[in-house]
Amino acid sequence: MDESNTQEQTSLPLIGDDAPKFTVNTTQGKINFPDDYNGKWVILFSHPADFTPVCTTEFMTFANMQEEFRELNTELIGLSIDSNFSHIAWLRTIKEKMEYKGMKNVRVGFPVIEDLKMEVAKKYGMIQPNASTTQAVRATFIIDPHAKIRAILYYPQSTGRNMDEIKRMIIAMQKTDKEHIATPANWNPGEDVIIPPAGDYDTAEQRAESTEEGTYCLDWFICFKKESGK
């Protein structure tokens, strides 16, 4: 493999970049991204191959949570370097034969991209030669309503994704966008959030001495807003 091809396969957009555009065939028909998803959050995720065990559990879980994501104005798009025929056969098998953690008769209602030429996978850095030259790695891109990439997660092929964490990230990012706050480590909805740090000396002093209702500080640079009324 020459150097230019390796660069093409391993390049990926960064957080804050415009999400690369594409027009593709999927199991739900043709989609034109991002135009067809204007005003929505999107989870674009790749999987190594159809008819593989870890991917099957992931697709069942994503499909089972699809309405939860839609309540967050978020749509799902899957991708692997397989044909639509393979995708359809696999999704039918999931619905007709698979049962996992109480989930059965699961219909995968989100589109799965046919990417035989690896065009989308290469644009998003989903092909990583040291892992495989013929399969997409387990990558996840969270894209906001302005088609900006906001988060990127990469898992090894042997490890399934944590969908609850992906959902938590979307809730956190939507909240921070709306309220101009930040979320601390292990934050979950309903817990206290971090207010922006002081930007000058006087504000820092006021923060350190403040007893403003609804907020509390550990020090001048780390202050919280109460969310639960405690």
Instruction: For 184-198, give the DSSP string.
Output: -TT--TTS-EEEPPP
Query: Global pTM?
Result: 0.90
Between the alpha carbon of residue 16 and those of residues 8, 141, 148, 150, 151, the distances in Å are 20, 11, 6, 6, 9
Res. 133: pLDDT tops 60: no
The pLDDT confidence band at residue 210, using thresholds 50, 70 and 90, is low
Q: Is the peptide bond before 197 cis (omega within 30 degrees of 0)?
A: no
pLDDT on residue 206: 75
Supply the Cα-derived Rg of the chain in whole angstroms: 21
How does pLDDT run across 77-115, given as a tens digit for each residue?
999 889 999 999 999 999 999 999 999 999 999 999 999
User: For the residues 20-29, what does the mean pLDDT come to?
Assistant: 97
- Is 107 a known ligand-binding residue? no
pLDDT on residue 129: 63
Res. 189: pLDDT tops 80: yes
User: For the residues 120-148, what does the mean pLDDT come to?
Assistant: 83
pLDDT on residue 200: 81
The pLDDT confidence band at residue 219, using thresholds 50, 70 and 90, is confident
Question: Which of 24-28, 154-158, 177-181 shows the lowest mean pLDDT across its residues?
Answer: 154-158
How does pLDDT run across 81-90, given as a tens digit for each residue?
899 999 999 9
How does pLDDT run across 27-39, given as a tens digit for each residue?
999 999 999 999 9
Kindly tell me the burial class for residue 135, based on how many C-beta atoms sit within 10 Å of its own C-beta (0-12, 13-18, 19 or more).
buried
- Domains in the chain (CATH in brackets) are 3-162 (3.40.30.10), 180-230 (3.30.1020.10)
Catalytic amino acids?
Answer: 55
CA quadruple 223, 227, 140, 77: dihedral positive or negative? negative
User: For the residues 121-129, what does the mean pLDDT come to?
Assistant: 85
Looking at residue 136, its amino acid is A
Res. 181: pLDDT tops 90: yes
The H or E element that residue 62 is part of is: helix 53-64
